[in-house]
A and B are shown apart, each in its own frame.
Chain A
Amino acid sequence: MPEFSLIIVLVIALALIFDFTNGFHDTANAMATPIATGAMKPKVAVGVAAILNLVGAFLSTEVARTVSGGIIKEGNGGILITPELIFAGLIGAIVWNLVTWLMGLPSSSSHALFGGLIGATIIGVGTQAVDYNVVAAKVILPALIAPLIAGGVALVATRLAYMITRRDVGKPDGRGGFRYAQIFSSSLVALAHGTNDAQKTMGVITLTLIAGGFQAVGSGPTFWVIAACALAIAIGTYTGGWRIIRTMGTGLTEIKPAQGFAAETSTAATILASSHLGFALSTTQVASGSVIGSGLGRRGSTIRWGMAGRIALGWVMTLPASAIMGAFAAGLALLGPVGIVLDMVIGTIVIMALFRWSRRNRVTHHTLLNDIDDAGRVVNIKKTPRRPTRRGRGDRRKVSL
């Protein structure tokens, strides 16, 4: 079946592209706060996250085995999902991931993937193919509860950290020491992310291979699938979604080392507890909730609720928006080979357009560092010239302890 193989190759390529977007979308979860507090250099931080994601992807294949998790009733007596539909779902997920990245919104990549697949399935097979109870129990409810749990935990943790290290006014409290701790806590989050998220793509590819008859039903991912997915997510992570890192690190609240450590620890604890006691929570939502919680926990800090609201809106939109795009792509894909080609062309054009749009105001780790200068440029304020210091480059040596 040569034409059947072609669609499978396309699905695998798209799945790897999705894995890449997943990586750079989620770098912020682990690394936004250590970058924001200066615990690690931005490039070092994303490098560490990339390596831990790569390692993490090889550590476990459990999630991959249960990826579709019954949301779409597939196989044995149910309705078999075709590679064409997975293809369409992936297009929806990738496009939505890029849109949210462009807006700098930390949104769940898994929800984008599920949304895309659900949309494609509704068009391709019918509304009865989607198990809405499972969608509610496994996707929508955890999405509401994850930020609440993580936020509460981070609030308590931040309060504790400040309470224990509190000293009389004027006496040094040594809170800069939390910067060392942040390195470890954020690495833990990155590792946990690697074991979870690369799996989803492995699961999709394996599902496709099984559907195409290349692999036995019920078998796990083969080595080359694991290696390819691990590499894709690591490269994506290293590319660094600087827009989202900026939102998480500086857009929600001003993060100090103690808060950063409390937030990362809460994220790690919540993710580990949830994945070991029953259900998986979205890393992105847990991490965002933790950052807000740590902002609430420190006296005198402010939270930009407008930004928090935008992020929450992004979460609500993720499932339906990627479902609509997945459905649209599926509608075309069902026309046959012409539709697939059309899908490819439209998808490429949209992705190119999004990238071109992103070039207008680039966000890299450089722009991340001088946010204030950037803001000055936008409102066109004439900057007062820096006063020359005695030591020449002396003004570069700014210190915060």
Chain B
Amino acid sequence: MQVYLPIAEMTVNALLILGMGGIVGFLSGLFGVGGGFLMTPLLIFIGVPPAVAVGTQANQLVAASVSGVLAHWRRGNVDVKLGLLMLCGSTIGTVVGVWLFGVFQRLGQIDLVIGLSYVLFLGVISILMLSESINAMLKRRRKGASRGKLHKHNILHGLPLKTRFQKSRLYISALLPFGLGIIGGLLVAIMGIGGGFFLVPAMIYVLGMPASTVAGTSLFQIIFTTAIATFLQAYQNQTVDVMLALLLLAGGVIGAQFGGRASGRLRGEQARALLALLVLVVCMKLAMDLVVEPVARYSITVGAG
């Protein structure tokens, strides 16, 4: 079934897009991440212009995070105060990111910037997650191993503007969630991802948030970040394809339900190790694309001067 995408200006097989949405949705349900880091490279791979892939992915993530946050909201797992603070940071990050996106687009280097940011972020995150989850698995084997301190004190805890976040039982500097928000916003704008795979570990390890409120709060915040990114990409760059977003969404929502059910059969550290391996594979594929001589050394940009 062929469908013409009005903004991407290309014809795609609707079943292919639905299938891609379904598989990525399954993985995101399984691991509890948005899956943007998989979907954007996949879209680029099937020929969607990178700029449209990033802009559309932001739109799709709005829907994905709305449906995801509902379950957490009902269980009261959303720290609104901390989420709003992150949102302030991510709004700034998104605005700067969309502007940077346009600058690099005009310089003809946006594909390189997207590629490099993916390799860098995916590489670092996957290696951190992999080592952490392997450690956790080893610890489980050595039963009775001594528990460390509940959380370590480091330089981040010396920052000013200390604020109490009751829901997360935290007393930390307001600058920390604000700063994380800025990075998250930049990721949404430049890489077309929700940033969950970065924010979730950062909120656990940097902020020391309890796991119960992390997923709901990051999703809550991602709704607004991706909505702002969608608006700015549509307004400034005209790169949001609603048709493509709806197809991805339909597949993604169904896939996420099956993924969510399957996740009950995996232990936390096993799921994290698998996710880390998956991220690492995507990272290596993207790194190869940068290093291996391209099939087409020349490219054409229409319109830009």
Q: Report whether chain A binds chain B.
A: no
